[in-house]
Amino acid sequence: MGNEKQVKTSFRRIPPFIEIMDCTLRDGEQTSGVSFLPHEKLMIARRLLTDVNVDRIEVASARVSEGEKDAVKMICRYAEHEDMLKRVEVLGFVDGKASIDWIDDCGCKVINLLAKGSLKHCTQQLHKTANEHIADIKQSLRYASEKGMDVNLYLEDWSSGMKDSPEYVYQMMDELVNTSIKRFLLPDTLGILNPLQVIEFFRKMLKRYPDTHFDFHAHNDYDLAVSNSLAAVLSGAKGLHVTVNGLGERCGNAPLASVQVILKDQFHANTSMNESKLNQISKLVEGYSGIAIAPNQPIVGDNVFTQVAGVHADGDNKDNLYCNELVPERFGRKREYALGKNSGKANIARNLQDLGLDLTPEQTKKVTRRITELGDRKELVTPEDLPYIVSDVLKHNAPEDKVKLVSYMVSSSYGLKPLASIKVDINGQEYEADSTGDGQYDAFVKALRKIYKNSLNRTFPTLDNYSVTIPPGGRTDALVQTVITWRNGSKIIRTRGLDADQTEAAIKATFKMLNIFEEDMNEEKYIHT
């Protein structure tokens, strides 16, 4: 029988490799209110294939529109140039030659053929028998083969089929398993399954068809898409379908980032993905889709690497007691420590350290007290506010503004674009500029950009995110709070402005940002335009 070491070695579990197909550009675009432009689809596809390195992408449904056709052609041209064409797939229908011709004309070489995976869908939607539907599928397979295409087969509504008509599912598989189909794609189309059912149904499929490649396609109607995806892998699925940020019809699909980390950390499975790019692709899709990422969305949300409670920051100072395997550096991010009424001295100390401010314990206590008071008033405190709070509390001279607003005028008229005229003082020198924009604040920022580009020969930081809020429980006549996220190269900074007027609040946040970047001038050189 061999010794103990030999026995352990012989039964060592080999981590499986899981193929990931991203469906953002097809199923994700079926999110209500989402429509990607062709160039946006191309940009997302490029990032998914090259940066994130997913194995496959499903980019469209056949015969949707001419705009969709243009997008698929662009993606396929790019993929062919990069020798990635076999990683691009398009959903097609069992409609004779129509879908196959459409996909072929786009230059795509892989079709995901949509067949019916439940008896109800077959008889009530197609008004056909199982044998008739199978005959149509085989006809499509032959034509796709003539066109030199690879075929994967969706069994739409497979989850209902396994619950209500398993004999139909098995009939379909018995007839098609030995054809040219490369992968069988098993969707929980209505998001009705739980993990135990996924395990049961996958094991039944693999027992009958052990050498078949099965993908699982989850929907999140019961908030079980991620759990069900893991259950499918545990039961032998070789591929999973995901979308960036969990976009998709109704409640969406399994989120790409969440599936990746669970596969790696909880199941020790292997994938091809580059985790450090997950946050970047998430932000890109957020911008193009217009669907905001929830702040607490795992991995990619703004707050998921932010410690709020002071006891957590204290624990991090003591051998990272409140950290797990999801360290922010793994995803190209960093841990932050929130400032508010729950912060405590440890949070304050962390932020002071990052800013290079050295305070005594008594001074830190005073600053902590002031931040707690601001939190009680529901005011947002950012790390960038700390130097000003310290100066106020300790009666130091406030940091001198190097960029000052001397005067400005913004106007809007019916039928005309808003106009902004500004005069600013930068390091003792005054500059003036005018500009129009899509809004008053947009016109103001464009005027500032003119000064930085034309007069100073510097780049102006780009606006990454913009939000206007009234604190929860506030009155409609309360001051509005504008929070703006800026990007300058690799540096990201968030500033806020508070005022009764939204534009004025945004201007205050803008000048706060400019002064912060001016303070950094000795360390970070501006890129010349």
Domain ranges of the chain: 15-289, 306-394, 403-519
In tens digits, the chain (529 residues) has pLDDT values of 455 555 444 445 688 999 999 999 999 999 999 999 999 999 999 999 999 999 999 999 999 989 899 999 999 999 999 999 999 999 999 999 999 999 999 999 999 999 999 999 999 999 999 999 999 999 999 999 999 999 999 999 999 999 999 999 999 999 999 999 999 999 999 999 999 999 999 999 999 999 999 999 999 999 999 999 999 999 999 999 999 999 999 999 999 999 999 999 999 999 999 999 999 999 999 999 999 999 899 999 888 877 654 444 444 444 555 567 888 889 888 776 656 555 555 666 667 676 666 777 777 777 777 777 776 666 666 666 677 677 666 655 555 788 999 999 998 888 888 999 999 999 889 999 999 999 999 999 999 999 999 999 988 888 888 888 764 444 444 457 788 888 887 777 888 787 778 888 899 889 988 888 787 664 554 444 3
The token pair that represents 421 in the structure block: 């005229």
Class of domain 15-289: alpha beta
CB 157 within 8 A of CB 120: yes
> What would the pLDDT profile of 456-484 be if each residue is shown by its tens digit?
998 888 888 888 876 444 444 445 778 88
As a 3-state breakdown, the chain gives helix, strand, coil percent values, each rounded to 5, of 45, 20, 35
Report the half-sphere exposure of 355 (CA within 13 A, side-chain side): 23
User: Distance of CA 394 to CAs 338, 341, 362, 370, 387, Å?
Assistant: 21, 19, 11, 11, 10
CB 511 within 8 A of CB 459: no
Buried b (16+ CB within 10 A) or exposed e, 400-438: eebbbbeebebeeeeeeebbbbbbbebeeeebebebebe
**Parallel, antiparallel, or unpaired for β 214-217 and 19-22?**
unpaired
- For residue 528, the model assigns a pLDDT of 41
**Parallel, antiparallel, or unpaired for β 416-426 and 429-436?**
antiparallel
**Active-site positions?**
26, 156
- For residue 120, the model assigns a pLDDT of 95
CATH 3.20.20.140 fits 403-519, yes or no: no
> What would the pLDDT profile of 274-303 be if each residue is shown by its tens digit?
999 999 999 999 999 999 999 899 999 888
238, β-bridge pairs: none
User: Distance of CA 88 to CAs 57, 154, 191, 216, 272, Å?
Assistant: 5, 16, 25, 18, 16
How remote is the C-alpha of 7 from its chain's centroid? 44
The token pair that represents 321 in the structure block: 């007691």
SS3 state at 104: helix
- For residue 324, the model assigns a pLDDT of 75
- For residue 309, the model assigns a pLDDT of 47
- For residue 474, the model assigns a pLDDT of 47
- For residue 314, the model assigns a pLDDT of 47
- For residue 442, the model assigns a pLDDT of 92
- For residue 336, the model assigns a pLDDT of 67
Question: What's the CA gap between 255 and 259, in Å, rounded?
Answer: 6
- For residue 238, the model assigns a pLDDT of 98
- For residue 56, the model assigns a pLDDT of 98
Residue closest to 524 by CA, chosen among 493, 492, 491: 491
Polymer length of the chain: 529
| ∠ CA 372-390-348, rounded to 5° | 50
